[in-house]
Structure 1
Amino acid sequence: MAAAYDPNKRGELRIFDTLDDLATDLAEYVAQLSEISVKERGCFTIALSGGSLINFLGKLCQAPYDKTVDWTKWYVLWADERAVSKSHPDSNYKLAKDNFLSKVPVPNNHVYSINDNLTVEDAAMQYEFATRQLVKARILDVSSINDCPKFDLILLSMGSSGNVASLFPHHPALEQREDWVTYITDSAEPPPERITFTLPVINSASNVAVVATGEANATAMHLAVDCLGDDFDASAVPACLVQPADGKLVWFMDMLAASKIHFSE
């Protein structure tokens, strides 16, 4: 790991020489949070996104984590999902199922995918209802700041435009404050219809981790962590708006993604 922390940046920066090193550290990070949450609350609530981070989670399917993580206490949701069938190549559920969840013993009834038989609007409403039921069952804690669900970990990928979850630059969904889950029909990237957690939910988590790799993400990463003054339009880079109110933020990146960050002396 080339650098672990810069006190002048937003959150903790973890920068790695190789993608394998990143995956190894990310697995240890998730496993440690799982252990802490299970000891303190009796369960571990995690919301996933798509992208390369799912492949990085493959390390959790290997020793020692395949035996040491208490998978039966995991509750898995998605921070965002594409409005496609669960068998579609674009499905975040399919990506996670094929590359991660099918290889670890998380109970099937602890995995909350969206209903792909509904319209995207109805799917978003139902997903919020399912999330609220987990709050009622006290599986999910509630933030004391805004009454949003307080996930133990929300794990996100950042795209080259600085998008996180399915929150894209200048999109009206960035302004949503009432709903926990919203939907979009005009995604900047295909497929166009998606559901997504809103920013208040993301920023209510106990821990948020953002993964970004490759040179294509370097400019967005620089903007996201360097915070270029009060006059900077943060909605142009949604990752800038990931600011946990009462939680910890960690950025996982390779050297290419970190290449434009300004580090303090």
Structure 2
Amino acid sequence: MAFSSSVFSPQTRGTSLLSYSTTTSSFIPTATTTTRANATTQKSFYQQPLRQTRRNNNYGINEVKPKRSSSSSSFGKVIVKAISKRYENVEVLSKEHLAVTLAYDVSQLSDKFSQERGAFTVVFSAGSSINYLRKLVEAPYIGSIDWSKWHVFWVEEPVVPNDHLESNYKFAYNRFISKVPIPASNIHAMDDTLQADAAAEAYEATLKSLIENKVIASSTNGLPRFDLTVLDMGPDGHVGALFSDHPLLHETNKWVSFLRDSPISPPQRITLTLPVINASSNIAMVVSGAGKANAVYSALEEKEEDDDGGDGEKEEYSKLPAEMVVPYEGELKWYLENGAASKLFKKK
């Protein structure tokens, strides 16, 4: 199941990197219709309507010139460069529209997998990605989604008690899980009574058991195939507890592993490994805040191979963990809040 891209046009669902508009429409999807309220003008220069898109063959990027705005004639002279190798799967939205769009897409996936498999497996991350699920606890979704089919997992968890302030379980429970009728037996938290290594082994055993019971689907290479993994990305480009230049980023044998030297506190963490993340059917990369704009730019910009230095072999650049999220058989979609996407566009 791919993320829905045809239910709303870019003008109604949000804006992709190559389809900006001066207006964003407030709308509330219902079971049968989508209504649009009064449009509100956005001030960001990269949200002006596009007049022209042309290919720059010298640099391999798209140069986009916005229309002249009646409120600011200077916009007609701005060249906006949308630099992205995967712009087809990127949406840039206001905070409100990101929440609305994400809720609609998740509800569609929930309906599909609940009907096809009798279960909908969702992996939660930490941070703002949970906050952007808030529309699911409101009408029409709170009453239309079959919550009994949901099975919830976590991509990573600090080694702290579940009632600790740093617990990802606690954050997700307070902001989302406690507000929807998911059966308690379907909430698969990591064991907070065990040490990091034992907790990682126990969580991997849980995943294997749920595959045997047909709750979690299995990928063609035998990995757990979650229906949806919702990821957040840190300002340094990390996802889950997978950090740049850390050996755990290249773990390929284990499904769940741990580290005791995390660069962010708390230092001990349990995490799904990259192969398991990439085995997901659908991955939603939800990124918010201007503080993450540099990492978003680095993850999505077109890369040029490093010079060979005269030895005839070109070196690969060091990828951010977020760049290494590339589903084997599924689909990745980026949901970017305006601030997080701000470095993708340059004035010239």
**Residue matched to 2:334:** 251
Q: After superposition, what is the alpha-carbon deviation per residue over 1:221-255, rounded to whole angstroms, capped at 9, x for unaligned?
A: 111122413445344x1101000010000001112
Question: Is 1:143 the equivalent of 2:212?
Answer: no
Compute the displacement of 1:2 (Å).
2.9
2:185 corresponds to which of 96, 106, 109: 109
**Residue matched to 1:59:** 135
Q: Which has the higher helix share?
A: 1
Question: Is 1:15 the equivalent of 2:98?
Answer: no
Question: Is 1:134 the equivalent of 2:210?
Answer: yes
CA–CA separation in structure 2 for the residues paired with 1:234 and 1:199? 16
* Matched AA of 1:156: L
CA–CA separation in structure 1 for the residues paired with 2:325 and 2:274? 7
Q: Residues 4 and 73 of structure 1: is their aligned pair in 2 closer, same or farther, counting only changes over 3 Å?
A: farther
**Counterpart of 2:165 in 1: which secondary structure?**
coil
CA–CA separation in structure 1 for the residues paired with 2:186 and 2:87? 32
- Equivalence map 1:174-185=2 (5 Å): 174-185=249-260
**Residue matched to 2:317:** 233
Tell whether the 8 Å contact from 2:217 to 2:224 is kept in structure 1 after alignment. yes
Tell whether the 8 Å contact from 1:48 to 1:155 is kept in structure 2 after alignment. yes
**Residue matched to 1:207:** 282
CA–CA separation in structure 2 for the residues paired with 1:10 and 1:180? 30
Tell whether the 8 Å contact from 2:218 to 2:225 is kept in structure 1 after alignment. yes
CA–CA separation in structure 2 for the residues paired with 1:30 and 1:4? 21
**Counterpart of 2:206 in 1: which secondary structure?**
helix
* Matched AA of 2:317: D
Please give the TM-score of this superposition, normalised by the length of structure 1. 0.94
Comparing 154-163 with 6-15, which one deviates more in the overlay? 6-15
CA–CA separation in structure 2 for the residues paired with 1:155 and 1:230? 30
Comparing 248-257 with 1-10, which one deviates more in the overlay? 1-10
Compute the displacement of 1:140 (Å).
0.9
Tell whether the 8 Å contact from 2:85 to 2:300 is kept in structure 1 after alignment. no
Tell whether the 8 Å contact from 1:124 to 1:183 is kept in structure 2 after alignment. yes
Tell whether the 8 Å contact from 2:85 to 2:302 is kept in structure 1 after alignment. no
Compute the displacement of 1:68 (Å).
0.6
- Equivalence map 1:34-113=2 (5 Å): 34-113=110-189
Q: After superposition, what is the alpha-carbon deviation per residue over 1:173-216, rounded to whole angstroms, capped at 9, x for unaligned?
A: 11100000010111111111111110100000000111111111
Comparing 170-179 with 221-230, which one deviates more in the overlay? 221-230
Stretches of 4+ moved more than 4 A in 1?
A: 4-7
- Equivalence map 1:216-227=2 (5 Å): 216-227=291-302
Compute the displacement of 1:83 (Å).
0.7
Structure 2 segments unaligned to the other structure (5+ residues) = 1-13, 19-81, 307-315
* Matched AA of 2:197: E
Tell whether the 8 Å contact from 1:11 to 1:248 is kept in structure 2 after alignment. no
Compute the displacement of 1:53 (Å).
1.0
CA–CA separation in structure 1 for the residues paired with 2:163 and 2:305? 44
Q: Percent identity?
A: 39
Larger Rg: 2
Tell whether the 8 Å contact from 2:123 to 2:152 is kept in structure 1 after alignment. yes
Q: After superposition, what is the alpha-carbon deviation per residue over 1:12-61, rounded to whole angstroms, capped at 9, x for unaligned?
A: 10110x21111111111111111111111111001101101111112111
Compute the displacement of 1:162 (Å).
0.4
Tell whether the 8 Å contact from 1:11 to 1:249 is kept in structure 2 after alignment. no
Tell whether the 8 Å contact from 1:234 to 1:240 is kept in structure 2 after alignment. no
Compute the displacement of 1:117 (Å).
0.9
**Residue matched to 2:264:** 189
The total of aligned residue pairs comes to 260
Compute the displacement of 1:8 (Å).
3.8
**Residue matched to 1:167:** 242
Tell whether the 8 Å contact from 1:226 to 1:262 is kept in structure 2 after alignment. no
* Matched AA of 1:71: W
**Counterpart of 2:344 in 1: which secondary structure?**
coil
Structure 1 segments unaligned to the other structure (5+ residues) = none
